[in-house]
Structure 1
Amino acid sequence: MSDRFRPATAAEHLLWLLHRHGVEHLFLNPGTDSAPLQEAAAALAKAGIPIPRVITCTFESVALAAAHGYWHVTGRPQCVFVHVDVGTQNLGAMMHNALRDHAGVVVLAGRTPYGEDPDSPGGRSHVIHWQQDVRDQAGIVGGYAKWSLEITRADVLPRAVGRAVQVARGGLPGPAYLMVSRDVLMDPPAEDLGRTDGYAVPDPPAADAETVRRIADLLARAERPLLVTAKTGRRPGGLAAVTRLADLAGVRVVDTPESGCLNIPTTHPRAVRGTAAARRHVAEADLVLVADCATPWIPKYVRPRPDATIVHIAPDPLWEDMPLWTFPADVSVAAHGATVLRQVADALGEIDPGTKWAGHPCGEPSDGDPPASAGDALTARAVAAALNTVLRVDDIVVEEAVTNAPVLAEVLHRELPGTLDGAGAPGLGWGLGGAVGVKLAAPDRRVVAVVGDGSFMFGVPTAALCLAAEADAPILAVVLNNGGYLASRLPVFELFPDGVSASRREAVGTRFRTPPDFAAVARACHAHGETVRDRAGLVPALRRALEAVESGTSAVVDVHVADD
C-alpha cells in the first residue's frame, strides 16, 4: 500500500503516518485549524487508505482521558487533536494526570496560520487567527508534556510523528505534544514518505545481580517485610510478580490510594486492606520495599521505625520531577517494580512465609454490612458490597471515588489483572472519559466507573456520554452522591478542629444546594438513568443499568450516600 499511496496534502500524509505508527484512534475536537485533517480523513477513507478511526469529542479533557484509559489497557499511544491554544488549555488537569501516571499519549494541536495573502492556502481568514497567535503555545503544557515540537515543514512530518509516538511510549512514558498550522497541513507532501520503522523503544531496565541478591537476602532475614506499591500492577505480569513474592516470602502488601490499578488480588491473605491497617504495618515493618510508588506513606500520620531498611524501586526512584521529595532510601533501584520483584522472587532461597508477621492480621476487622431494607441509609460500603453482588470477575472497574476510594479498596473484590483502573493521579474528572477509553480498548468487557458526585461533574458528563455513544463504547457510571465536596470539607475540620465549621459539621463552599439531577442528565444524553436512595433498590438498579450497557446504551446510577 505504501508503494502506491501518494498523499495529496501534508494532512493526508500525517494521518497515514499515525496509522503506520500504530495509532488506532484520533480523538478529534475540531476547529478552524483541523479542516485539512477532516478533508484528508474523508478523502483517504474514500480511497480505501487505512487511517486511525476518527472519533468526535465535544470536550478536550474527556478526549485526553479516553486516550489515557486506552493506554492503560493496551500500552499503545493514541492521538488527541485540539484547537490551537484554547483547546490545549481545555486539556487541563488531564495533562497533569498523563504526566503523573506516565500515560503514553500524543496530543496534536493546531497553530494559527502563518499566511496572510489572498493566495495563501490555509492562510488567515478570521479574526481568531490573530487572537490565537500567542507567544508560547507549547508553554501551556510545558510543565506536563514530556516532549514538544512544532511541525513547520511538510518534510519534517515523518520524523516528527515517529519521534512523538516513540517518546510517548518509551522510557518513562508520557504525553508528547505536537503543533502544526493548517497552512502547513495544506502544503504538498514530502516526496519521500519517510520510514515508519526504526523507532524502537528500549526494554524496561532490570536490576543488576548484586542488587537482586542483596534484596533477596534482606527479605530472607526480615521478620516483618512489607511491600508498598502503587503502579506495579500496571505493567504486564506485575500483579503476578507481587502475588508470587507475597506467597514466597510472606510479604504483606499495601496498595496505596495513588495506584489506579490492581497490584494484588483484593482477597489475597497478605493484602493489607484498610487505612489504619496499612499505617500499622508501615510502623511495624523491619523491611519496607517500595515499588513504583511516589508516596509510600504520609509522614504526618506514620513513619517506618528507625531501624527499618527501606528499598525504593521505580524507573526513576529519585522522582526528580517532584521538587521536594525526601522519603528515606537505603537501597535505590532504577527499574520497573514488576521486573525487579520477579528477579528477587527467582533469587529467593527456601523461606517459610508462615514465620513472617506471625499473629498480625492484614486488615481491619469488619462486621460486614447489615441486610438491605427499604429506608436504610446508604453508604459507600453498601455500594461496594452491592457491586460485589452484580459484577463479573472480568468486569473492569474504573475508580474515581475520591474520599470513598479507601472504602472501595477495603470492600470491593477484584482478582484478575486489569480489572481495577484509575487515573493514578489527582486531576478530577478523569473517570468518565477514562472509562470510555478502557471500553474502546476492551470492547468485550463490561466497564463500570465508580465516581463521586463532584468528579462526575468535573468529568463533563454530557461530553463523556456523547463520546461513549459516538465511539459505540457504552459504560456504566455509578455516582456516589454525598451532596458536595467532602474532600474539601474534611481539611477545614482537620486544620480547625475547634472552629466554627467543625462545630457545625459544615464548611463554606462544599455543599451543592441545587445539584443537577444526574439521572436526568443521563437520559438527556440518550443513556439509561436512575436515582437510588435506599438499600433495597440498589442491586436491582445496578442490574437494570448493566442490562442497558449490554444492549449498547450507557447508564448512570446516581446513588445518594451518607457523607460520613
Structure 2
Amino acid sequence: MSTGATTASWVSDAIVDLLTAAGISHVAFNPGASFRGLQDSLVNYRSDGPGTVLCTHEEISVAVAHGYAKATGRPMAVLLHDVVGLQHAAMAIYNAWCDRVPVLLLGGTGPVSTAKRRPWIDWIHTANVQGEQVRDYVKWDDQPADAASIPRALARALNFARAQPPGPVYLCLDAGLQEEPWQGGSWPSPDSFPAPTAPATTETELDALASRLREARLPVLISDYAGDTAAGFEGFVALAERLHAPVIDRGARHNMPVDHELNFTELPEILGEADLVVGFDVEDLYGALDAAGLGSTPRPPPRGEGSAAVVHVSAGHLRVRSWAHDVGELVAAERQITASPETALPALVSRIERQGPEATRLSERRRRLAGRARARREALWREASDAGARDAVHPARLAVEAWEALAPERPRVVHSKTPDWERRLWPLGGFRAHLGWHGGGGLGYGLGASIGAALGFGDPDRLLVDLQPDGDLLYTPSALWTAAHLRSPVLVLVQNNRQYRNTVEHAARIAEQRGRPEGRRHVGA
C-alpha cells in the first residue's frame, strides 16, 4: 500500500491532500458554515489543490459536476451545506443518478457533538445519518466518525462512483471533525485502492453473439451509453460498419455520427424489419422497441414474419434501487448479457473481423440502407428549413439558423433539448460531440452542466454550444453569474418560446379528450 505524506495542520487540510492525490481538479459549492473548515483549507492550505467553483445554489453546483463528468469521464467534488444544502441539491443529484455520472458529494453536518453546537441553527441543521436524505439515488453514502476513517471512506466513495455503471456518491463530514487539529502521521494514498474494472462477459457469450450478428438477415443495433467511453463509441461505430447494420442512437450519450449512412435514429421503423435487435446499454429498451411492436409487457412482441429476437448487453441493472421506477418496463429479451459496452464492443468487432462476413450480401444491404438514410436526412432538412411559427421560434428553424452560423466553428453541443433537432440535422461526428441532456427529467440542469463541461474540456479546440430552453434556464438563472465569473467559453442560445411547451401540449390533449376548447391551453403554462 502506498502512503501519502502531509504537512496538514488540520483535518480539513488532510482532506484537501486526499482530494489532490485522488486527482480531483475542482470543487463546486454554494458557501455554508458546516464546511467552513474545508473551505478554508481549499483556499489557503496549498496552491496546487483543487480549484474552487463558486455557485449561488446547490442545484447549480451538482449540475456543474454533472457536466464535468460527461466531458471527462471523471468525478469532480461538490460541497453541500448540512441538511438544507443537501435538500437543495436533491433534484440535481437525482439527475446525476439517472444519467449514470460519477460525482463526489461532500456534505457538512453538525457539529455532531452537542457540546460544540451553537444554539438553534446547529441543531435544526444536523441530522441523524444525513445520507438517508439521498440514499435511494446515490450509489453509496458514509459518515466517517473520526479522522482515521476519512482516507478509506474517500477512496471507497471514489471507487464506487467510478465503477461501471458510474453514479454519484455522498460522504458526510462532521463540521467539528473538519476543524480538529491533524494529529500527524501518514495516510493511505487513494491509488492504493484502484477502481474495479468494467464488467465483461465470457468468451462463450461473445462467440455466440458474434455468430448471431453475422448470420442475421438484418441486425439492428441500439444504444444509449456506448458513447460514454471512447472504446465504447469507437466499438459501436466499428461494429455497425463491419456488419453493415443500421443503428438507433437513443441519445443519453453521442453514440453514432449523425450523418453516418447507417444512422437510422430517425427511421425507427427499421426495427420492424429486423430479425435481430441488439441493445448496448439502453436505458429504456422497451421504449426503444415499442414503436415497432417489439416490446414486452403489456403488449407481447409479434412472433410472425419479420419479428426480431432481442439481446441486451448492459451492466445497467447493477445500479438498481427500489425508490424510483427508473428500471423501466420489462423486455422479453432472448438474452441479457452482463457487460459494459467498452468491454463487449471491441471484443465483438474482433470476432466479426475474424469470421469474415459475406462481403457481397452485406455490401448490397449497406447500399440500400445508405440510400434510405440519405433520403431521410434530406427530408428532415427540407422540413426544418420550412418550419416557422407566428409566436415562437420553431426548434427546427433554430437548429437550421444556428448551424448556418456556427458550422465553421465545428460546434460541440454540451446541452440541448430543443427538442433535439440538432441531433437530426447537424453532422456531429466524433466522441463526445454531443453530451446529451439531464437524465432524470429535472429542470435547472442546462446552464450548470454547460459550465462544468467547459471546465472539463479546458481550452476547447471547438466551440461549445448550449441550446438552452428558456424554461430550464428560469430554474437556475443565477448560474449565469458563475459562468461570467469563470469566463466559461460557452455560447448559450436561449430558445425563448415564452411558454412551457410540454405543459401547453398536455393542456391541449386533455382539453381535446374532454371536449373542451383548446383556446385556454396557455393559461398556467
Q: Which of 69, 72, 76 lines up with 2:70 in the alignment? A: 72
1:282 aligns with 2:271: yes
- Correspondence for 1:477: 492
**How has the CA–CA distance of structure 1 residues 371 and 485 changed in structure 2, closer, same or farther, with 3 Å as cutoff?**
closer
Alignment of 1:153-164 (within 5 A): 153-164=146-157
**How has the CA–CA distance of structure 1 residues 373 and 209 changed in structure 2, closer, same or farther, with 3 Å as cutoff?**
closer
1:152 aligns with 2:145: yes
**Cα displacement string for residues 119-145 of structure 1 (whole angstroms, at most 9, x for unaligned residues):** xxxx22242111112345212101111
Secondary structure at the residue paired with 1:58?
Answer: coil
Moved more, 182-191 or 448-457: 182-191
Moved more, 333-342 or 492-501: 492-501
Shift of 1:115: 3.6
- Correspondence for 2:297: none
Task: Answer whether contact 2:4 2:186 (CA < 8 A) is retained.
Answer: no
1:312 aligns with 2:312: yes
Secondary structure at the residue paired with 2:347?
Answer: helix
What is the TM-score when the length of structure 2 is the normalising length?
0.87
Secondary structure at the residue paired with 2:192?
Answer: coil
Q: Which of 416, 421, 425 lines up with 1:400 in the alignment? A: 416
**How has the CA–CA distance of structure 1 residues 317 and 377 changed in structure 2, closer, same or farther, with 3 Å as cutoff?**
closer
- Correspondence for 1:350: 357
Q: Which structure shows the higher helix fraction?
A: 2
Shift of 1:303: 2.0
1:223 aligns with 2:221: no
Secondary structure at the residue paired with 1:93?
Answer: helix
Secondary structure at the residue paired with 1:456?
Answer: helix
Measured in 2, the distance between the counterparts of 1:99 and 1:374 equals 37
Task: Answer whether contact 1:22 1:76 (CA < 8 A) is retained.
Answer: no
1:9 aligns with 2:25: no
**How has the CA–CA distance of structure 1 residues 178 and 4 changed in structure 2, closer, same or farther, with 3 Å as cutoff?**
closer
Secondary structure at the residue paired with 2:513?
Answer: coil
- Correspondence for 2:246: 252
Measured in 2, the distance between the counterparts of 1:454 and 1:509 equals 13
User: Which amino acid is the alignment partner of residue 244 of structure 1?
Assistant: A
Task: Answer whether contact 2:129 2:143 (CA < 8 A) is retained.
Answer: no
Shift of 1:318: 7.5
Task: Answer whether contact 2:466 2:492 (CA < 8 A) is retained.
Answer: yes
- Correspondence for 2:467: 450
Measured in 2, the distance between the counterparts of 1:12 and 1:189 equals 8
User: Which amino acid is the alignment partner of residue 386 of structure 1?
Assistant: E
- Correspondence for 2:433: 419
Task: Answer whether contact 1:267 1:413 (CA < 8 A) is retained.
Answer: yes
**How has the CA–CA distance of structure 1 residues 216 and 323 changed in structure 2, closer, same or farther, with 3 Å as cutoff?**
closer
**Cα displacement string for residues 271-330 of structure 1 (whole angstroms, at most 9, x for unaligned residues):** 0142xx21x122222111111112135366442243311010111358744455311211
Measured in 2, the distance between the counterparts of 1:323 and 1:368 equals 35
Higher RCO structure, 1 or 2 (CA under 8 Å, sep 6+): 2
**Cα displacement string for residues 243-296 of structure 1 (whole angstroms, at most 9, x for unaligned residues):** 21221111111111xx3321111000110142xx21x12222211111111213
Task: Answer whether contact 1:68 1:105 (CA < 8 A) is retained.
Answer: yes
Measured in 2, the distance between the counterparts of 1:60 and 1:410 equals 33
**Cα displacement string for residues 83-128 of structure 1 (whole angstroms, at most 9, x for unaligned residues):** 10110011132111211122111111111213454xxxxx222421
User: Which amino acid is the alignment partner of residue 313 of structure 1?
Assistant: V
Secondary structure at the residue paired with 2:444?
Answer: coil
Shift of 1:476: 1.6
Identity %: 25
Shift of 1:191: 2.9
Measured in 2, the distance between the counterparts of 1:329 and 1:108 equals 40
- Correspondence for 2:293: 303
Alignment of 1:300-379 (within 5 A): 301-304=291-294, 305-306=302-303, 307-317=307-317, 320-321=320-321, 322=326, 325-348=329-352, 349-352=356-359, 353-356=362-365, 359=368, 361-362=372-373, 363=376, 365-366=379-380, 367=382, 369-370=384-385, 378-379=393-394
Q: What do you get for the CA RMSD once the two structures are aligned?
A: 2.6
Measured in 1, the distance between the counterparts of 2:391 and 2:39 equals 54
Shift of 1:9: 0.9
Moved more, 404-413 or 350-359: 350-359
- Correspondence for 1:410: 424
- Correspondence for 1:101: 99
Moved more, 64-73 or 80-89: 64-73
User: Which amino acid is the alignment partner of residue 481 of structure 1?
Assistant: N
**Cα displacement string for residues 154-176 of structure 1 (whole angstroms, at most 9, x for unaligned residues):** 11121122222122112321111
Moved beyond 6 Å, runs of 4+:
371-377
Shift of 1:358: 6.9
Measured in 2, the distance between the counterparts of 1:502 and 1:337 equals 49
User: Which amino acid is the alignment partner of residue 277 of structure 2?
Assistant: V
**Cα displacement string for residues 505-559 of structure 1 (whole angstroms, at most 9, x for unaligned residues):** 725522xxxxxxxxxxxxxxxxxxxxxxxxxxxxxxxxxxxxxxxxxxxxxxxxx
Gaps of 5+ in 2: 295-301
Shift of 1:216: 1.7
Task: Answer whether contact 1:319 1:325 (CA < 8 A) is retained.
Answer: no
1:181 aligns with 2:185: no
- Correspondence for 1:520: none
1:498 aligns with 2:513: yes
Measured in 2, the distance between the counterparts of 1:94 and 1:376 equals 32
Moved more, 15-24 or 482-491: 482-491
**Cα displacement string for residues 11-50 of structure 1 (whole angstroms, at most 9, x for unaligned residues):** 11111111111111111221111221232234313xx5x3
Task: Answer whether contact 1:387 1:412 (CA < 8 A) is retained.
Answer: no
Alignment of 1:33-44 (within 5 A): 33-44=34-45
Measured in 1, the distance between the counterparts of 2:184 and 2:225 equals 44
What is the TM-score when the length of structure 1 is the normalising length?
0.81
- Correspondence for 2:400: 385
Task: Answer whether contact 1:99 1:175 (CA < 8 A) is retained.
Answer: yes
**How has the CA–CA distance of structure 1 residues 340 and 319 changed in structure 2, closer, same or farther, with 3 Å as cutoff?**
same
User: Which amino acid is the alignment partner of residue 137 of structure 1?
Assistant: Q
The number of residue pairs the alignment matches comes to 492
Gaps of 5+ in 1: 118-122, 511-564
- Correspondence for 1:267: 259
Task: Answer whether contact 1:228 1:253 (CA < 8 A) is retained.
Answer: yes
